[in-house]
Structures are given as C-alpha cells and as structure tokens.
Amino acid sequence: MKIAIIGGSIAGLSTALRLQNSGHEVSVWERRNPTSSGGFGMLLDQKTLTLLSSLGLRLDPQLQKVTKYEAHDIHSGRVVRRGLDGSFAIQRSTLIDHLKNEIKHHSLNYDFEFTHFEPNSGNNVQRACFSNGHKIDADLFLGADGVRSSVRNLQVPGPDLTPVKTVEVVGMADMNSLPAKSRNTFKKYIHQGKGIAFGIVPCAGDKVIWYFQIDNNKWPQSLGSNHQRNQWLSEELSHWPHQVRRIAMSSRLENTHLWRTTDRDLPLQFHRGNTLLIGDAAHPLLTFTSQGVGSSIEDAVILGDLLDEYESSPHQNLDDCLGEFSAIRKPILEGHLKNGRDLQQRFLGQRPHCIDTYPVSA
C-alpha cells in the first residue's frame, strides 16, 4: 500500500518505521528542516521501550535510568519519595535520530508544508498538496502533524482544542549542575497555591531536562515575549531553592522552549475516508500525563498490526480497518485524558493537591 505520512516527528517517524517493516511504500512529509526536532527530552516506561524494540530500535546506551521520584512542597518543607520501576529518560533529538536512521533515506522529505488535499470534497482524497507546489498521491494518508494539526482541521475536525490553562517553559542543563546523588531522581518542587512548579529529569548524554509548570492565568508573564519571559524567570528564580536556581541558571534562558499545553475530547472516529489521524493530531494529551510519546508509539504499532490484517484479508475494507483503530485506542486514551485533566485541576487548585500523587498517567 502507498502511504503518505504528513508530519515527521515521533508519531510520524515511528509509524513510518512500523509500516516500512511490513513492506508498505511509505513517505514522510515534514514542514520543518531536518535539524528541528522540537522539545528537549522525555520519560519512557518499560512498555514504550518494548514497543520501540519491536520496531528494531536499540536505545540502551542512550537511556538514563530514573529510579526515584521526589516531590518537595516549597511552603511546608515536606518531601515525599517513592521508588520507580522501569522509567528511563532520553533526549528527544536522540530518539528522533534513531528513528530516522532506520527509515529509508528517500522516504524522508523536509521543508514541505502541507496546505490541502485534492479533491477537496467527499470522504476519500487522492493527493496531498504542499506550499511549494508539490503534490503526492497515496492510498492512505496519515495526519501526524501535531497538536494544532492542519490535516485534522481540513479532513477530520472533531472537537476543538481546550483553552490553554497551563504552560511549560523547558530547558536543558549539563548533568554536572546536579549533585551526584540526584542523577537518577525525577524531582519536582511545588509551590501549592501559587500555580507554579519546577521539575528536574536527569537525561542521558550528561544532560538534565528542567521545566517550569505555570498557571498562565496567575502568571501572564509566561506568555509574553521571550525577553519579557526571561526577565520574569530570572526574578522568579531568586525565590526558589538553591538547586533549582543552579540548574536553571546554568543554561541559557533564551534557549528555553515554551509549550502551550492543551488537549481535546476524543472524537467518534480518528479517520474520514482514507485519512487517519495519529499521535497528537488525533489525541493531544496534557503534558501532566507524560504519555504523549508513549501513546504515539502505541498508535504506530497497533496501526501496523491492523493494516497487516487488512492486507491479508480480501474481505475487509479500509474503513472498517481504520474504525477498528479508533475502537482499540479510545478506551486507553480516555483514561490518559481523564488523568491528565485531574492532575491539571489539582495543579490549578481546582481540586485538593496532594504531593503524594505521582505526576504521570499510568
């Protein structure tokens, strides 16, 4: 089957690799240049690593094992600790590079900004069109173009994105900014009632990922210009514990990344005709869940399995196959959606906050 994937981040690349492994003619079309990966790093659980292994990826040397979680209540001084089993951190660029290295070079296309489908009426489409005038025909189109998906808006709209209530400012520092005893610990410093928290995730490659989690209604400075935000962060950091200041100020604040976190209610289906949404394009999740990457990789493996069955069964039609994808994925995603909203409400003070709660959706 000829399959065109619009979007070349983790969802698009992992799906391309899974489908390539089954012999499909796959192409990936990404609007950014090859050096732009977005974001800094992520936590992966054992289930996600098993799925990546099934795709043929061997990531062990690039993983940082995270064995403990610590939550610090800034106001009371209380600290909660718990052990973690099967949690690993990896730089986002490392995972993307490994995926790209396993995909046939001619299948990857960069600086192609999707604009529309042709024909632009009816359920099935024949070709995807790009801003540079290029067009690509395919049997199946996969929208993997992220939270604010153009493919979704045009072909499979469904529920709107929820308003942005929290943002994250994410940065990267050198591991030597972290004490040796903390280099396997996911730490979170929480200012209950102030709508702000600081997280630290040790990562492979001698790096530390850090992030401020912010209620943007209480802290509108977080949505200002880069210069305004950095000025505010520099001032705000002076009120935080020494380790927080040391890590954040050891990196350049102008190199941080701002995530406007949002989600949406799940639609009845993730497809229309021969166009299917996957990853954040289909089911954006709040960053509180730490399940965005894992869910994208699950999408890739499950879709690959379903298309294998479809190709081997002459009596099945593509619409039923893509409908089955939604039926399998939605119950799991509903759980992550609910957990993410619960964690956000606690952070925003709309529900009682408890620092004993581990900030990851299981």
Cα–Cα distance between 200 and 175 in angstroms, integer? 11
Does 245 score more than 90 pLDDT?
yes
Reading the block at residue 251, the tokens are 């990196």
Does 161 score more than 80 pLDDT?
yes
- Cis check for the bond before 119: say yes or no (omega within 30 of 0): yes
Does 198 score more than 90 pLDDT?
yes
Band (39; pLDDT cuts 50, 70, 90): low
Q: Which CATH architecture has domain 60-91+163-261?
A: 2-Layer Sandwich (3.30)
Indicate the pTM of the whole model. Answer: 0.94
Q: DSSP letters of 84-142?
A: EEEEEEEEHHHHHHHHHHHS-GGGEEES--EEEEES-SSS---EEEETTS-EEE-SEEE
Q: Which CATH architecture has domain 2-39+93-161+267-345?
A: 3-Layer(bba) Sandwich (3.50)
Range with lowest mean pLDDT among 77-81, 118-122, 295-299: 118-122
Ranges of each domain in the chain: 2-39+93-161+267-345, 60-91+163-261
Q: DSSP letters of 35-55?
A: T---S-EEEEEHHHHHHHHHT
327-338 tens-digit pLDDT:
999 999 999 999
Does 320 score more than 60 pLDDT?
yes
pLDDT at residue 36, as a whole number = 56
Q: Which of 14, 90, 53, 34 is nearest to 299 (CA)?
A: 14
Cα–Cα distance between 133 and 130 in angstroms, integer? 6
Does 156 score more than 80 pLDDT?
yes
Domains 2-39+93-161+267-345 and 60-91+163-261 agree in fold:
no
Does 38 score more than 60 pLDDT?
no
Does 361 score more than 60 pLDDT?
no
pLDDT at residue 327, as a whole number = 97
pLDDT at residue 362, as a whole number = 52
Cα–Cα distance between 17 and 100 in angstroms, integer? 8
145 vs 32, 50, 219, CA distance in Å?
Answer: 11, 25, 29
% pLDDT > 90, the chain: 81
270 within 8 A of 322, measured Cβ to Cβ: yes
Instruction: Give the mean model confidence (pLDDT) for residues 93-107.
Output: 96
Sign of CA dihedral 22, 25, 31, 32: positive
Does 235 score more than 90 pLDDT?
yes
Provide the mean pLDDT of the chain. Answer: 93
Instruction: Give the mean model confidence (pLDDT) for residues 242-267.
Output: 91
Size (the chain), residues: 362
Cα–Cα distance between 237 and 226 in angstroms, integer? 16
% pLDDT > 70, the chain: 97
Does 75 score more than 90 pLDDT?
no
Reading the block at residue 14, the tokens are 């992992």
In whole angstroms, how large is the CA radius of gyration of the chain? Answer: 21
